[in-house]
Amino acid sequence: MEPDRAWLVGPDFTVSVGPLAPGALRDYRGRRMVLLVLYTLPESRTRIAQLTRAYDVLWVTGAEVIAVPTNASPDAISELGLSPPVLFPVMTDGGAEIVTTYRLFAPGPHAELLIDRQGYVRAIWENGVVPDVAAGQTQVEAQPGEGSTLPRRSRPLMEDGGR
């Protein structure tokens, strides 16, 4: 966790979830923090269930969870099962590029990256070391608001297709 040091802008990506219109990571800037979860089944099933149960609390505290399967499966949502029901976005298209890019920061079968409202990566948990929901909520609430004195954001990597 780097609460006072914004040094890495989260590389932008398209968010494609089932039949919904695609969006982008940058669409959350100024509005919500993003907890990007790179997961592998069955290893991550317990953590996904924890996040599912805590999603309403995370949402109220200003965070969106975006889950990306490391195997880039178009059946990612159904592979998670029905219980508990997953209500946060699960990538169904374009996940391979996201995994390739973010694995540079967090290799392993499961990783979570907290991206603040300004688009900076503020925390990385990897290799099975993930925060409990209460700790994650505390860190989400501790992030700077829109009036923060963060350095001016440079253009995110890959915003224009990697050029």
* C-alpha dihedral sign at 116, 79, 42, 134: positive
* pLDDT (tens digit per residue) in 30-47: 999 899 999 999 988 889
State the pTM of this model: 0.77
Classify domain 14-142 at the CATH topology level: Glutaredoxin (3.40.30)
* pLDDT (tens digit per residue) in 94-124: 788 888 888 888 888 899 988 888 888 888 8
Task: Kindly report the number of other CB atoms within 10 A of residue 79's CB atom.
Answer: 14
The domain locations on the chain are 14-142
Q: How far apart are CA 92 and CA 69, in angstroms?
A: 8
Q: How far apart are CA 118 and CA 106, in angstroms?
A: 20
